Amino acid sequence: MKTRFAGPVLAALCLLPFPARSLDEPRKVVDYDIRVRLDPEKRAFTGTETLLWTNPSQDTVQELLFHLYWNAFRNNRSTFFRESGGQLRGDRADEERGWGFIDVTSMTWDGQDLRPGFRFVSPDDGNPDDRTVLSVSLPRPVGPGETVRLEIGWEAKAPRVFARAGYVRDFYMVGQWYPKIGVYEPAGRRGRAAGGWNCHQYHANSEFYADFGDYRVEIDVPERFVVGSAGALVAERKEGGRKLLRYEQKGIHDFAWTADPRYVVKEDTFEPSRDVPKEELARAARLLGRSEADLTAGMKPVKLLFYMQPDHVDQWTRYADAQKWALAWFGLFAFPYPYAQVSCVDPPEDGIGAGGMEYQTLYTAGTWKGLAKWPLRGIRTQEMVVVHEFGHGYWMGLVASNEFEESWMDEGINSFTEYEMMTRRYRYFLELPFGAGFSPLDLPARGFIPSSPDYDPILAASWKYWGGGSYAKNSYARAGLAVEQVRRLVGEERFWKGFRAYAERWRYDHPTSRDFFDAIALHAPSPWLADLVARTWYGTGFVDYRVLRAASTKVPERTGYDDARKAVNFTEEGTSTKGDAAAKEKGKADGRKDRGKGPWDTVVVVGRDGDVVLPVDVVLTFENGKTWRTTWDGRSKWLRLKTTYGSKLARVDVDPEQRVVLDRDSMNNSRFLPAHDGPSAAAKVRTYGVHLVQILLSTLWTLV
Ligand SMILES: [Zn+2]
């Protein structure tokens, strides 16, 4: 009996999406109780925190590592400054008065002073001047599973904002602001052979990787400030012209806040029964093979808070629409949002360096007054920045991959979900005349991918790409498009099953790149997948399909000798010409009458540049309107198609449905033969618009 059932049982086991290891809630490793006071005159923050840290490993741990992020702005010798040159996303540091810092002034464990064990370390680049990672050597080791309770005091000064955190006038964006313990990874986590610290320096382009826990934060500010934070407000007390606000949030790994007297706070609610579009719910149920009731079961109402600048208040509904849509979309295609609230911070225009930035349960958007007016109001920047920054709350936030070491898992998957959400709800990022427009995918596919050759694979630590442009291209556009490529390769249903399985399985659980590929391969196996992953994520491969040759010539009337050696259509020397000449004249007349009739010899050659091999469709369209389609496996460098047919070739299209979204140059994928009318007006507008997009892209970098 056992033998008889072994086959079906094994098959059933293989169908299980994953080992039943998905976490319903995060493993709690840290617990922060923070009290912080802002002195706006001095831009100074004074804080104390009680940190409980539980050793999650089987090791005895002899030292603790802490992030001191604001020391990135301490001076121009920090690794952050050296990497960024004091310039990020178009914003420059104010090197006259803009410096900031954080100093740990006290740290005790069971009353014992730990300061003698302090030293700064630079695990990534050995920079002796970087002060963003503090090592604390302990008087005795922390045993497996043991919880230490540390009392920490610190003083900090905010930098003038140019890179995410800091101040301008009375606006404060307070991110990465407290002494934050690094991650001690137990053996087995993210494929680690032995346990050890994972605590990177603050780099120009990456900053997130932390353990989950609970936060209680008391913020003490002058009464005039309006404050928003990652937590829910649980208590408020006013005294002596100041106010003390107490916030709490469980199950997060980061806590950011903001303060500005000018904020106009708008409130709304994401109500799943109202805000999940019915057709999207039906579509998700069909693609994922789940019931609608199952998909909506975990969705809860979410309180939405928008901290708006007074001159942007009229734009808050655009943020709100995109926010509700993003909550609905992620709830369907990843998993329901587990927190009770989300805060969207709208920075002032002179503090836009703080804009377009993600934290947990709180993110910064960004807009300009002019973007609400014609003709710029047709550009969907506000929606894009909301779905993008909120989306990070899933990848960097809830799934919690290591953004330092595998930045594409955050920015790249997030770019993919951004393109998808923007396309599903808004269709065009930018609408042009004649019914044309730029889809959200056009920006990366037509702008970034063709713009430069590749010298880096997608998968690299953020500071190890050859330069900032390579980091940006590979972590965002190329990675986002590569995920889109996987989707087009394996098909909608299988892709989304794999995608959702990845998100659900790895919620709160710090996956690696390999875990993503495994999830897709399990649900959407494809003979093309391993090669695509190897050549793009782990290599610098690219692909450009193009039409190399397209010709259609009328098959000429037979001229010469036939099989019986009779002269056809010509006059043999030394023979009478009378009858033949008449026949020849008749032939000419018939030829005029038959012009445009077949048969026609058609030759088409399509080629593949680059080493990423993907199947591609080739479509021949003839003047009589008939089409002939074939799928080329792309394995040879070029393919020749020949046919003799009663109509002349009108056009050739390689990949007309754009299934090869990684195709570096789609402008060479079609060729029209002379008699044909050529591209439509809409297609021409698109073509000319490509240049416009490339100009726009440089501006948009402020907001990613
Ligand atoms: Zn981003």
Q: From ligand 1's centre to the CA of 411, what distance in Å?
A: 5
* Average pLDDT score over the chain: 89
Q: From ligand 1's centre to the CA of 357, what distance in Å?
A: 7
Residue with tokens 């330092």: 404
Over 50: is that where the pLDDT of 12 sits?
no
Nearest to 501 by CA among 372, 641, 333: 333
Eight-class DSSP state of 206: B
Type of residue found at 702 = T
Q: From ligand 1's centre to the CA of 637, what distance in Å?
A: 37
Q: From ligand 1's centre to the CA of 80, what distance in Å?
A: 18
Over 50: is that where the pLDDT of 1 sits?
no
Q: What is the total residue count of the chain?
A: 704
Check if the beta carbon of residue 326 is closer than 8 Å to that of residue 387. yes
Q: What three-state secondary structure class fits 218?
A: strand
Over 80: is that where the pLDDT of 24 sits?
yes
- Of all residues in the chain, the percent with pLDDT exceeding 70 is 89
**Residue 458 contacts by C-beta under 8 Å, 6 or more apart in sequence?**
408, 412, 474, 475, 478, 479, 482, 536, 537, 538
Report the relative pairing of strands 264-270 and 302-308 from DSSP bridges: antiparallel
Q: From ligand 1's centre to the CA of 361, what distance in Å?
A: 15
Q: From ligand 1's centre to the CA of 639, what distance in Å?
A: 40
32 and 142 assigned to the same domain = yes
Lowest mean pLDDT among 198-212, 225-239, 418-432, 484-498: 418-432
Task: Judge whether 499 lies within some domain.
Answer: no
Q: From ligand 1's centre to the CA of 419, what distance in Å?
A: 12
Task: Judge whether 687 lies within some domain.
Answer: no
Q: From ligand 1's centre to the CA of 323, what distance in Å?
A: 16
Tally of structural domains, the chain:
3
Over 90: is that where the pLDDT of 440 sits?
no
How many C-beta atoms lie closer than 10 Å to residue 406's C-beta?
A: 27
54 and 93 assigned to the same domain = yes
44 and 142 assigned to the same domain = yes
How far is it, in rounded angstroms, from Cα 117 to Cα 61? 14
Report the relative pairing of strands 166-168 and 171-174 from DSSP bridges: antiparallel
Q: From ligand 1's centre to the CA of 382, what distance in Å?
A: 14
First-to-last C-alpha distance (Å) of the chain: 60
- Structure tokens of 526? 């494809």
Q: From ligand 1's centre to the CA of 295, what distance in Å?
A: 27
Q: From ligand 1's centre to the CA of 414, what distance in Å?
A: 7
Q: From ligand 1's centre to the CA of 271, what distance in Å?
A: 26
Q: From ligand 1's centre to the CA of 388, what distance in Å?
A: 6
pLDDT in tens, 330-380: 999 999 999 999 999 999 999 998 989 999 999 999 999 999 888 888 889
Q: From ligand 1's centre to the CA of 418, what distance in Å?
A: 10
Q: From ligand 1's centre to the CA of 660, what distance in Å?
A: 24
70 and 152 assigned to the same domain = yes
User: 267: exposed, middle or buried (C-beta count within 10 Å: 0-12, 13-18, 19+)?
Assistant: exposed
Nearest to 163 by CA among 196, 133, 202: 202
How far is it, in rounded angstroms, from Cα 80 to Cα 180? 17
How far is it, in rounded angstroms, from Cα 201 to Cα 223? 35
310 and 334 assigned to the same domain = yes
Q: From ligand 1's centre to the CA of 359, what distance in Å?
A: 11
Task: Judge whether 473 lies within some domain.
Answer: no
Task: Judge whether 651 lies within some domain.
Answer: yes
Task: Judge whether 604 lies within some domain.
Answer: yes
How far is it, in rounded angstroms, from Cα 195 to Cα 59? 7
- Structure tokens of 180? 């934050």
Eight-class DSSP state of 460: S
Task: Judge whether 137 lies within some domain.
Answer: yes
pLDDT in tens, 205-223: 888 999 999 999 999 999 9
191 and 249 assigned to the same domain = yes
88 and 161 assigned to the same domain = yes
549 and 637 assigned to the same domain = yes
155 and 295 assigned to the same domain = no
Task: Judge whether 451 lies within some domain.
Answer: no
pLDDT in tens, 688-701: 565 555 445 544 44
Cis omega before residue 375 (within 30°)? Answer: yes
Q: Which of 253, 275, 294 is the last residue of a domain?
A: 253
Over 60: is that where the pLDDT of 579 sits?
no
Q: From ligand 1's centre to the CA of 475, what distance in Å?
A: 9
Residues 421, 427, 429: CA angle, nearest 5 degrees: 85
308 and 223 assigned to the same domain = no
268 and 191 assigned to the same domain = no
Q: What is the CATH number of the domain that holds 51?
A: 2.60.40.1730
Q: From ligand 1's centre to the CA of 408, what distance in Å?
A: 10
* DSSP bridge partners of 64: 136
Task: Judge whether 38 lies within some domain.
Answer: yes
Q: How far is CA 395 from the centre of its chain?
A: 9
Alpha carbons within 13 angstroms on the beta-carbon side of residue 428 total: 13
Q: From ligand 1's centre to the CA of 458, what distance in Å?
A: 15
Q: From ligand 1's centre to the CA of 483, what distance in Å?
A: 16
How far is it, in rounded angstroms, from Cα 509 to Cα 30? 15
Domain of residue 611, residue span = 544-583+593-677
Q: From ligand 1's centre to the CA of 449, what distance in Å?
A: 18
Q: From ligand 1's centre to the CA of 145, what distance in Å?
A: 35
Alpha carbons within 13 angstroms on the beta-carbon side of residue 415 total: 26
pLDDT of residue 325: 98
Check if the beta carbon of residue 70 is closer than 8 Å to that of residue 63. no
132 and 206 assigned to the same domain = yes
Over 50: is that where the pLDDT of 15 sits?
no
Q: From ligand 1's centre to the CA of 373, what distance in Å?
A: 26
How far is it, in rounded angstroms, from Cα 309 to Cα 168? 13
